[in-house]
Amino acid sequence: MDLALSATASAHDADLRAAAFECSIEPTLLFDPHADVILDANPAACSLLGYDRALLRQTKVSALQPGQLPALIVFTQAVLDKGAYWTDALTPRHATGQNLRIEYAGCVVPHDGRTLMLLTMSDLDARRRRYVDAAAEDHMRSGIATWQRVERVFQDIERENQLILRAAGEGIYGVNAEGNTTFVNPAAERMLGWTAEELVGKEIHPIVHHTHHDGRHYPDHDCPIYAAFRDGAVHQVDGEVFWRKDGSPVWVEYTSTPIRDRGVVVGAVVVFRDVSQRREADEKLHAALAEVDRLRERLELENAYLQEEIRIETNPRGIIGQSEAIQKTLRQVKLVAPTSAAVMITGESGTGKELIARAIHEASSRSDRPLIRVNCAAIPRELFESEFFGHVRGAFTGATRDRIGRFELADGGTLFLDEVGEIPLELQGKLLRVLQEGNFERVGEERTRTVDVRLIAATNRDLKQEVQRGRFREDLYFRLNVFPIESVPLRERREDIPLLAQHFLSSESKALKSDLRLSEGDARRLARYDWPGNVRELQNVIERAAILAQNGRLRIDLPDASGSQSSAGSARVKADARPTVMTAAELRDHERANIVAALEACAGKVFGPGGAAEMLDMKPTTLASRIKALGIVGRQRPVYPSSSTARDRGAP
C-alpha cells in the first residue's frame, strides 16, 4: 500500500515538473551536451526560435549557433565545471535566418546516470527595452545607485570573460595596434613557458615569433599576426613555430583576428594550438611513403632490367667444357666467389666472360640480389655518369624524372662492367671513389648515397698497355685487378668444341622442333677451325646450320682462308685438309681485312639492318670495340647509340 502511494506521488511530481516546464514563460531547452542533441523544448523556446517542437528535437544545439562552436564549447565546459553558468556571447539563428541576441543560463541536470543540461534563454533586446524603461524610472528615483549598478554589471561581464579565457584549451593572447601584448590566457602560458606578467605590455613578436623554424630571421613586417591589425583581415596560418622560454620551438597553427572599436582596428586576438605531434606524425608518414616509392621504383627498375636481360640473353647459363683451361677457370670461380674481392676477367670477344661473371655471382652470398650488367662500350660518353650513378629531375636537358643508376640498382648485389676499358678517363676517378668509399651522388643532387656493391670487370684490351699510354688510371687498374681470371679463346681448348656445338644444336633443335644430330665429321671440321669469334661465332654457325639443314643433315658453312663462307660441298671435299696455321699478327690482319671489307660493302654503316654488324653476324657493340682496337680509320666510324637503343638492336 505504501509503495503504491509512493509511486503515485512520484508520478504526480513528474507531471508537476513537466507542467512547470511547459508553462514556463522563459524559453527553455533540455539537451545532452555530450551527444549535442536537443531532448526537448518548451513552447516559449519554440516561439523565440521560430521552430516547431518536433523540428527542434531533431536539431543539434551547435546547429542553432553556426560558426560559434568554440564559444559554445567554452560555455558548456563552464556549466559542467561550475554546475551553473550563463553567457550572452552566443547568438542563435532564428528560423528566418536572423541572428538573435540571447542570454543563455545553463545548469546541470543529472538523470538516470546521464549529465544533461537545462538552458534558459533570455531575449536581450526585450530585456534591454525593459532595462531602458526601468532605468528611466530608477534615474528619476535613485540617481547615483543606477550608475553603481551599471558599474557592477560591467565588472561582472569582465569577470565572466576572464573565466571564459581561462577555461579555453587553446592558447589565446591579444596585441594592440602597436604590437604590445594586452592579455595572455593560462593555456598560452603553459604552451610557451612565459607567464602573463612577463609578456603583457611587451612587444610579443621579438619574444616568441622572431625566427623561422630553419633559423631565418622573421621580420615583424612579414608577421601575419601584425598584418591582422594593419589590413583588418583574418589570417590563418599553419606550419610555423613559436619559441618557448627555454629556446625550443613549438609547431603551431594559429588564427589572427582583428579587433575593432567603432569601426577602427585597434589590435588583434591570436588563437593558437600546438601541432608538434601531428607534424611529427605527418613527417614520419611522408618519410615512410617516400621510402615505399623509392623501393617501388627500385623494384620496377630491377624488374625491367631483368626482363631485358632475359630478352637479350643468348648464352647458356652454365660454363660447358672439360678442358684443363675450363677446369682451371671453374676452380678460380670457386675460390673467389665467397669473397667480396673485385675480379678482372680478360679475354677475346665471344669467349664467355659474362658467363664467368654470372657463375661468380651465383656462387656468392649475393646471389639473392641481382647481377646488374653494364656494357661500357654501348654508353654515350656524355651519359656515363648518369648511367652509373643516376640523376635527378632537371639535372640536364631531357631529365624529366629521377632515375636510379646502375650502382644503386646493384646495391647488395654484383655489378658487371663489360668492356671496362671503354670508360672515359675523366669518369674513372669517380668510379674509383665509389669502389673505395662506397659513396656517390646522383647527377644534379648533393645528397651522398651509400651502396654495397661487388664489382666484376671484363675487357678484351690489354689494360697494362692502356695504363702506360695514359688511357686508363693505374690506381683504378690495380683496384679492379685484385683477382684476375683469363677467359681462354676457343682455339686453345678445341676438345670443348664438340660439347659446345652439341649443346647449341640441342637448343636449336628444341626451338625448330626437329631432331638434328652432330656427326663425327662435323665435329672434326668444327674442331679444326680456329674460331676467331670464339664461342659466339660457334653458336652462330650452329644456329645457321640448323636453319639450313635438309633431311636431318646439317649444313655447316665455315669461312675459308679468304674469309668467305664455303659451301657445304667444298667443305666436305676439304674436310680432311690440314688447316692453314696463322700467327697472331696474321690472324689480326685477317680480322682487320674482313671488317674493312664489310664496312666497304655497307658504306661504313655499322648498326641496324644492312649494317656491317649484321653482315659479320656480330653484336654491334662488339664490332665497334674491334674497329677501335684494330685502329681502323678513314672510314665511317660507328656512332654509339643510347643504352636503350643499343638494347633494342641486340647490344648487351
Give the pLDDT confidence of 476-511 residue by residue, as tens digits: 999 999 999 999 999 998 998 888 888 888 888 777
Which SS3 state, helix, strand or coil, does residue 79 take?
helix
Task: Supply the CATH number for residue 242's domain.
Answer: 3.30.450.20
Same domain, 388 and 447: yes
Is residue 294 in a domain? no
Closest CA to 57 of 48, 45, 68, 69: 45
Mean pLDDT calculated for residue range 383-405: 81
Domain boundary among 137, 167, 197: 167
Confidence of residue 336 (pLDDT cuts 50, 70, 90): very high
Domain boundary among 167, 202, 236: 167
Is residue 355 in a domain? yes
Confidence of residue 580 (pLDDT cuts 50, 70, 90): low
Is residue 34 in a domain? yes
Confidence of residue 644 (pLDDT cuts 50, 70, 90): very low
pLDDT at site 481:
92
Mean pLDDT calculated for residue range 203-225: 86
Phi and psi angles of residue 240, each rounded to the nearest 5 degrees, phi first: -125, 170
Residue with the bigger pLDDT between 397 and 80: it is 80
Closest CA to 561 of 579, 584, 534: 579
- No. of helices (H) and no. of strands (E), the chain: 27, 19
Same domain, 125 and 249: no
Is residue 290 in a domain? no
**Domain region containing 519:** 491-573
541 CB burial (10 A radius; 0-12, 13-18, 19+): buried
Q: Whole-angstrom Cα distance, residue 574 to residue 559?
A: 12
CB 167 within 8 A of CB 81: yes
> How high is the mean pLDDT of the chain?
80
DSSP class per residue in 178-224: TSBEEEE-HHHHHHH---HHHHBTSBSHHHHSSB-TTS-B--GGG-H
For residue 445, pLDDT over 80 is answered with yes
pLDDT at site 177:
83
353: Cβ–Cβ under 8 A, 6 or more apart, which residues? Answer: 345, 346, 347, 418, 458, 487
Is residue 285 in a domain? no
Is residue 283 in a domain? no
For residue 577, pLDDT over 50 is answered with no
pLDDT at site 560:
59
User: Residue 182 has which C-alpha cell?
Assistant: 594586452
Helix axes 124-141, 144-167, angle to 10 degrees: 150
Confidence of residue 561 (pLDDT cuts 50, 70, 90): very low
314 CB burial (10 A radius; 0-12, 13-18, 19+): middle
Same domain, 630 and 553: no
Q: Whole-angstrom Cα distance, residue 34 to residue 251?
A: 30
pLDDT at site 409:
87
Confidence of residue 474 (pLDDT cuts 50, 70, 90): very high
For residue 317, pLDDT over 50 is answered with no
Give the pLDDT confidence of 221-247 residue by residue, as tens digits: 888 888 887 788 888 888 888 999 888
Same domain, 454 and 544: no
pLDDT at site 312:
44
pLDDT at site 187:
86
Q: Whole-angstrom Cα distance, residue 75 to residue 163?
A: 10
Residue with the bigger pLDDT between 454 and 157: it is 454
Q: What is the strand order of the sheet 181-184 is part of?
A: 181-184, 171-176, 264-274, 249-261, 235-243
Same domain, 391 and 443: yes
Domain boundary among 573, 607, 636: 573
Task: Supply the CATH number for residue 466's domain.
Answer: 3.40.50.300
Q: Whole-angstrom Cα distance, residue 471 to residue 457?
A: 17
In 58-148, at which residue ranges do the beta strands (DSSP E only) sit? 84-87, 102-111, 114-123
Same domain, 363 and 478: yes
Task: Supply the CATH number for residue 520's domain.
Answer: 1.10.8.60
Torsion, CA 441, CA 442, CA 443, CA 445, rounded to 10: -80
Dihedral sign from CA coordinates of 412, 418, 421, 423: negative
Q: How many domains does the chain have?
A: 5
Give 184's strand partners.
173
pLDDT at site 489:
92
Give the pLDDT confidence of 164-181 residue by residue, as tens digits: 555 556 888 888 888 888
Give the pLDDT confidence of 93-114 residue by residue, as tens digits: 888 888 888 888 999 988 888 8
pLDDT at site 386:
86
Same domain, 60 and 135: yes
Farthest-apart Cα atoms in the chain, separation: 147
Same domain, 400 and 432: yes
Give 416's strand partners.
373, 456
Same domain, 521 and 545: yes
Same domain, 510 and 449: no
Same domain, 453 and 520: no
Phi and psi angles of residue 251, each rounded to the nearest 5 degrees, phi first: -70, 135
Same domain, 182 and 204: yes
Is residue 281 in a domain? no
pLDDT at site 313:
45
Is residue 288 in a domain? no
pLDDT at site 360:
94
Confidence of residue 621 (pLDDT cuts 50, 70, 90): confident
Query: Lowest-confidence range among 180-194, 236-250, 531-545, 601-615?
Result: 601-615
Which SS3 state, helix, strand or coil, does residue 396 take?
coil
Give the pLDDT confidence of 65-95 residue by residue, as tens digits: 888 888 888 889 999 898 899 898 888 888 8
In this prediction, what percent of the chain has a pLDDT beyond 90?
Answer: 13
pLDDT at site 166:
57
Give the pLDDT confidence of 261-282 residue by residue, as tens digits: 877 888 888 889 888 888 887 7
CB 405 within 8 A of CB 451: no
For residue 297, pLDDT over 60 is answered with yes
